[in-house]
Every structure is written in C-alpha cells, then in structure tokens.
Amino acid sequence: MTRYLLTRLGQALVIVILVTLITFVILHLLPGGAARAILGKEATLQQIAAFNHEMGYDRPLWEQYAMYLQRLVQGDLGYSFQLNQSVAEAIVQRLPKTMLLSLASTLLAVVVAVPLGVVQAVRRNRWPDYTINALSLLAYATPIFFMGLMMIILFSQVWPVLPPEASQGFTLAEMLADPAGLVLPTVTLAILTVAVYSRYIRSSMVDNLNENYVRTARSKGLSEGRVIVGHTLRNGLFPVITLLGMYLPALFSGALVVERLFNFPGMGLLFWQAALKRDYPILLGVTLLISVATVVGALVADVLYAAVDPRVRLRAGRS
C-alpha cells in the first residue's frame, strides 16, 4: 500500500508540473502580452520594453518558466497589477466562497442523486427509470448558463421569491448571513451534478444487484429494503467516491459560469475577470490551484477506494 501511495504521489507531482508548463506556455504565446494589458493601449514601445525587461519577460521562455518555478517553490504566486495585490491574497479572499458554493452544490447533488439512482436501479426498465433517465439526459444536455437564466427568470421575475444576484458580502460570514442569495447559484450548479451522479449510481447499483451476495442475502430472508440499503447501496457507492475526486475540474468550470451569471464573488468570477484583463499571474495561480485540487482529490479518492475495496488493496500489494 505504501508503494502504491508513493507511485500515485509521484504521478501527481508530474501532472501538476505539466499543467503549469502548458498553462505558462499558452498564456505567454497569446497576442498582446502582459505589458500591454497592464500599461494600457497608450503605452509606448519604449515603456513596454522597459516593463518587459524589469519583469524578465524579455528573457527566453524556458528561463522565465524556471524563474516562475523558483518563486513557486518559495510560496510566491506572483503579483496582480490589475488588482494591485498579490495573487495569494486574491485567492485567499475568494477561495472560501467558491468552496462554499461547490460543497453546498455537491452535498445537494449527492442527497438528490443517490435516491434517484436507487429508484432507477430497483425499478429499471420501468416508467420511473425511463422518466428519471429522460430528465437526467435533459439536464445534462442543457448548457449551465441557460439553466441559470431560466432559474433567474422563473424565481426572480415570474415568481419573485429569490434574488437574481448572489450576496456580495466581503467575507464568508457576510455571505452566510444572506442565505437566499446562495439558493439559485447552488441549485443551478447542482442540477448538472445530479444528472451525472444519478446515472453512475444507477449503473453501479444494477451491476451489484446481479451479484451472488445479493441473491444470498435474499435467500436468507432479509427484507428488500435491507438488501438494497445495507448491502447493494454500500457497494454501489464505490464508483461515486472516485467520481467525487475526478469531478473537480467540471465542478470548477460550472462554478466559473455560475459565478459570472449570478455575480458570485468567488474564484470563478476572479478567473473570468482575469481572462478579460489578461491578468496572467491570476490565471496561472488559479489554474495551479485547480490542478493541485484535482490531483489531490483523485489521490484521496483512490486511497478511499483502496481502503474499502479489497481487490484494489490486493493489486496495490502486488505492485
């Protein structure tokens, strides 16, 4: 198991380095450059050249990347001239808000998706299965920005029961003081997740319902509810554990659109504004954070999966 964890940690480190390299190269190949974005359209060529020389942007790309990694190891994510603050400060201010939105939407999605997936598996190839499957496909195929717009129109215009904009509190406590402003962003982000999770749970449950241990449990006289909840569902949730870790990139991409749509002051809105202003340090910092979170999430999911599945422990022990 120790060797398995060390191997996964090594792979995770390589992936993070590759992500930073690819992102760094793409951002520096974009037309315009950081100097023009920071100094403005009226800046002269001499001013741009002086700025590039001061910041090291006139050096070879590999040397710039080496300098970036050196600062990164020291905990320096860079400085945003657009926001007039360090990248770390900008992320720390907004990260808790995005975590609140992501955790709330994920929790809501799991609470809704698990019963739906169980119903689909137990009533498979019947009208509840067909109905839930059709609704899941519809939710999965609907663009998240369109879903959010429909939420705003229905619950802020037609039935004005919820605000169309998220709370603009500076701190997490201020946002929690206005829970109504969190409802529409959370539900919008959760709908797509429900569609994905319910289908995974259904597929896993159907596979487990055909296993020998289920037939054995039924032959012992256990009630159907105990067989479903106590045996099949517990084993059927294994793939969802892995999915939770691997779903972080999709969750952030959804949060980016939702935060822009509802003016939610989190990481997604920060990334959106940085992309419009070509704020390269912010773009690099947020991309690095998301890649690390994704790799860590996948690693934690693998460890949890190996802890509960003896087949994975056996393979890890042999490797």
Lowest mean pLDDT of 51-65, 183-197, 233-247, name the range: 233-247
CATH of residue 158: 1.10.3720.10
* Cα 256 from Cα 293, distance rounded (Å): 16
Count the domains in the chain.
1
288: in domain: no
pTM across the whole model: 0.80
Domain containing 164: what range? 90-280
Residue 176 lies in a domain: yes
The predicted model gives 178-193 an average pLDDT of: 89
Residue 100 lies in a domain: yes
Higher pLDDT, 128 or 247: 128
Q: Is 256 exposed, middle or buried (0-12, 13-18, 19+ CB in 10 A)?
A: buried
The answer to whether residue 285 is domain-embedded is no
* 54 occurs within a structural domain: no
Residue 256 within any structural domain of the chain: yes
| Residues 216, 201 contacting (CB under 8 angstroms) | no
SS3 content of the chain, % helix, strand, coil (to 5): 80, 0, 20
Tens-digit pLDDT profile for residues 190-241:
998 888 888 888 888 888 888 888 888 888 877 777 888 777 887 777 777 7
313 band by pLDDT with thresholds 50, 70 and 90: very low
User: Is residue 110 situated within a structural domain?
Assistant: yes
**Residue 310 pLDDT > 60, yes or no?**
no
Q: Tell me whether residue 76 is in a domain.
A: no
Contact 289, 78 (CB under 8 A): no
Q: Report DSSP state, residue 120.
A: H
User: pLDDT band at residue 74, thresholds of 50, 70 and 90?
Assistant: confident
